[in-house]
Each structure stands twice: as C-alpha cells, then as structure tokens.
C-alpha cells in the first residue's frame, strides 16, 4: 500500500479519522507509535521495566525514557513553530509526500526481497 501498488480501503482514511473522538485519536497515535518504532516497545517492556524493578530508583526510569523519547520531537516542533515554517513546511510536505511514500514503499519491498534471497 505504501508504494501505491496495492489499493484498498484504508483503516486510516480521512473519512474514518474525522468520525473518531478523543479516545480514537489517542488509540490511533498509540498504534502509530508502536508501528513506526517497534524497537521502542521492546526496549521499554523488555529492558527498561525489568531494569526498573531491580533498582532503587527504578520508578524514575520510565519517566526519563519518555522524556528522552519525546524531547527531540518537541524541540523540532518548537524550532518549526519559532521560525514560522508551519504553513510553508506543510505545503511542501504535501507536494512531495506522495512521491516519498512511493519511493519508500519500493525501497522497503526491495530490501525485503534482498533479505529473503540472502537469508533463505
């Protein structure tokens, strides 16, 4: 779907998202964060949580992890807002977004095929 080869009804279509409430928005963001970075899920629940049980100050680890994960995004958003690039950046990203998605989709398919051939 990312490369534009497979077409189908999308769960994340504009019509579907507009009908949702705050809980739906939260769940959409939650699942997008897991989908975009599944390694964070493994790092958090597989490494950080067990480590936090074995330390005296372990209850602070998830807080610092969350701050460290969110801080680069918050800083980037602040810089974009401070420089007044909101509208300009959004317009440019819409123009080239479809091409970037197609290129990324083709690259992911090629990498998947390469891994399949290499390791099988």
Instruction: Write out pLDDT tens, residues 29-63.
Output: 777 666 667 777 777 888 888 888 888 888 888 88
**pLDDT (tens digit, 9 = 90+) per residue, 80-120?**
778 877 777 777 777 788 888 889 989 999 999 999 998 88
**pLDDT attached to residue 14:** 55
| Cβ–Cβ < 8 Å for 44, 65 | yes
Q: Where are the beta strands (DSSP E) in 1-120?
A: none
- The answer on pLDDT for 66 being more than 70 is yes
N- to C-terminal Cα separation, the chain: 25
CA distance 79 to 82: 5
Spatial neighbors of 8 by CB under 8 A, at least 6 apart, are 1
CA 74, chain centre distance (Å):
14
Cβ(40)–Cβ(49) under 8 Å? no
pTM greater than the 0.85 cutoff = no
Locate the domains of the chain by residue range: 12-83, 86-120
State mean pLDDT over 5-33.
Answer: 62
């Amino acid at each position: 779907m990312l490369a534009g080869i497979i077409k189908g009804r999308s769960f994340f279509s504009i019509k579907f998202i507009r009908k949702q409430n705050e809980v739906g928005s939260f769940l959409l963001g939650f699942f997008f964060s897991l989908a975009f970075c599944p390694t964070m899920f493994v790092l958090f629940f597989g490494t950080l949580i067990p480590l936090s049980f074995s330390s005296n100050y372990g209850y602070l680890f998830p807080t610092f992890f969350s701050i460290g994960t969110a801080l680069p995004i918050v800083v980037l958003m602040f810089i974009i807002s401070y420089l007044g690039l909101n509208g300009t950046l959004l317009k440019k990203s819409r123009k080239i977004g479809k091409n970037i998605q197609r290129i990324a989709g083709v690259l992911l398919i090629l990498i998947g095929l390469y891994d399949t051939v290499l390791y099988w």
